[in-house]
Amino acid sequence: QKDYYQFRAIFEPHQVRLDPVPGVIDFEKDGLPRVFDDHLDIKTYLHKKGNPKDPDKDTEITPGVPHLLASFAPEIKPVSLPATAYAPTVRDYVQQDRLNVAMEQVKLAQKELATAETLLAKTKNEKPRTEAVAPSSQPAFEITDDFSKPNPELWEVVGEGWKYKDGTLKQTQATRETEFVRLKQTPPQDFEFTCRYTTTGGTTYKSVTFRFDQTEDQKYANFVYSSAYA
């Protein structure tokens, strides 16, 4: 059993890496798989009953050939490797390939800079085609209403619970039925909305919903939901 783990210790643990090949720096396109030992300090132990989850920390195994082959196996000697073997990025062709890519990027940037400088020079010599128009202090779309009285040209009022009373518009019924006040005009895509209201009653949630971008069938809309429930 010890011979088995000695033989395994020659190869394990090991990892796999990709070394660059000449002319390619993108490993997604090409690369040379290499097996290497990335953790020289990891030790091999005897596994109790062969279970790798239960190593015998008192029995450290050193790499070696099985006893059966030891009589005629060659002597194990360390091999000196050049730096390019374990550090592939220091190889001459790898550094030259990366330098070539960097130089191409520099050339492209210089070309884009020259184009931008030419465009800037032309722009400086051109006169504005139209004079700037001062923005209007008044918005193009504005609606203000205090709901003190009916305004059928501006609002569509749906539901029997709406009542104009004491200079305000009140909803007098707490209901889940479709009751609403809808603006008849179409607001612009971007708008600001301000509303002041007071909750005076209602059932559990005492909610008011403001809807916009609503479809004709009223199935879809963006909305702001407010509730006086506490």
Helix/strand/coil percent split, the chain, to 5: 25, 20, 55
CB contact at 8 A, 74 and 67:
no
pLDDT band at 143 (very low <50, low <70, confident <90, very high): very high
Tokens of 139: 């918005």
pLDDT band at 133 (very low <50, low <70, confident <90, very high): low
Predicted pLDDT at 68: 78
Give the DSSP letter string of 58-111: EEEE-----HHHHTTSPPP------HHHH-GGGSHHHHHHHHHHHHHHHHHHHH
Tokens of 13: 């643990």
Across 160-177, average pLDDT:
90
Q: Which residues pair with 210 in a beta bridge?
A: 224
Tokens 């002597």 sit on residue: 75
Query: Which range is most confident: 1-10, 49-58, 62-71, 184-193?
Result: 184-193
pLDDT above 90: residue 93: yes
Residue 141, classified by CB atoms within 10 Å of its CB into exposed (0-12), middle (13-18) or buried (19+), is exposed
Any idea where the domains of the chain sit in the sequence? Answer: 2-76, 91-125, 155-227
Q: What is the pTM of this model?
A: 0.42
